[in-house]
């Protein structure tokens, strides 16, 4: 029998109680701020004007809002994520910190349209099949800047591997991709942006094991020409 809940059934982010607990603690400010979140906020800050909007793509539970608020970066924050359970965590907790629940929505990148002044996306593109189409959508949305943090190196490497850190009974695979820097930078430039790459503060240019696979984290800051 055919059903239509395949996205949630096969979405790795829906099947990790450890991740859900961590995201809830981040929303409640019970966990240390992510270094990448603090760095993303600092990279974004010089480009912000009063009244700007920030769209956090792959927001998890929306805890990047805390990094902006901590630095008194005055923006209208919106977050979207494809994982219903992670978004629900944010919708339950974040209103207590000033973020209305309707600012967090269950949306896949492919379904996005419209515009935002700034788009932020961290640790997402490296775990999907490829970066071109979702990044193109984000570039089309952004009126001013796009800030990315992904696994980026001198050469591309695509892997589809078992995520052995999921809850028992969910033997699912996930992409662990590293993208060639020049390919990604050239792609962004073709869409009318100037591009700067920035060393990731947490890893200082060294690979970091995530689910036992090396990730080569780097920031990309794109400013619309």
**Domain CATH code at residue 113:** 3.40.50.150
Instruction: Tell whether pTM > 0.85.
Output: yes
Q: What is the pLDDT of residue 148?
A: 98
pLDDT (average), residues 4-8: 89
Residue 194 has pLDDT above 90, yes or no: yes
**Angle, CA 124 vertex, CA 219 and CA 157 arms, to 5°:** 80
Q: Which residue has the tokens 């349209």?
A: 113
Q: Is residue 207 part of a domain?
A: yes
Q: Is residue 210 part of a domain?
A: yes
Q: Is residue 148 part of a domain?
A: yes
Q: Is residue 139 part of a domain?
A: yes
Using one digit for the tens of pLDDT, what is the confidence trace for 77-105? 999 999 999 999 999 999 999 999 999 99
**Neighbouring C-beta atoms of residue 135, cutoff 10 Å:** 25
Query: If you ran DSSP here, which 8-state letter would residue 64 be given?
Result: H
Q: Is residue 44 part of a domain?
A: yes
Q: Is residue 133 part of a domain?
A: yes
Q: Is residue 130 part of a domain?
A: yes
Q: Is residue 1 part of a domain?
A: no
Domain count, the chain: 1
Boundaries of domain holding 76: 6-224
Q: What is the pLDDT of residue 7?
A: 87
Using one digit for the tens of pLDDT, what is the confidence trace for 49-70? 999 999 999 999 999 999 999 9
Using one digit for the tens of pLDDT, what is the confidence trace for 36-45? 999 999 999 9
* Partners of residue 38 on adjacent β-strands: none
**How far does the chain reach from its first CA to its final CA, in angstroms?**
51
């Amino acid at each position: 029998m055919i059903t239509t809940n395949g996205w949630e059934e096969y979405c790795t982010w829906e099947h990790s109680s450890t991740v859900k607990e961590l995201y809830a603690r981040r929303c409640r400010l019970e966990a240390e701020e992510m270094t990448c979140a603090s760095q993303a906020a600092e990279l974004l800050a010089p480009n912000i004007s009063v009244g700007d909007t920030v769209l956090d793509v792959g927001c998890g539970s929306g805890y990047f809002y805390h990094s902006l608020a901590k630095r008194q970066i005055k923006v209208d924050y919106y977050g979207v994520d494809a994982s219903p359970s992670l978004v629900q965590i944010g919708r339950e907790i974040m209103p207590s910190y000033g973020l209305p629940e309707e600012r967090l929505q269950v949306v896949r990148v492919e379904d996005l349209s419209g515009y935002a002044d700034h788009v932020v996306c961290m640790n997402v593109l490296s775990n999907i099949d490829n970066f071109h189409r979702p990044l193109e959508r984000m570039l089309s949305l952004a009126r001013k800047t796009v800030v990315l943090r992904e696994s980026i190196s001198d050469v591309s490497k695509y892997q589809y591997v078992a995520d052995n850190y999921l809850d028992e009974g969910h033997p699912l695979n996930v992409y662990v991709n590293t993208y060639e820097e020049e390919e990604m930078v050239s792609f962004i430039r073709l869409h009318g942006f100037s591009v700067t790459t920035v060393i990731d503060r947490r890893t200082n240019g060294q690979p970091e094991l995530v689910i036992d696979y090396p990730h080569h984290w780097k920031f990309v800051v794109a400013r619309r020409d």
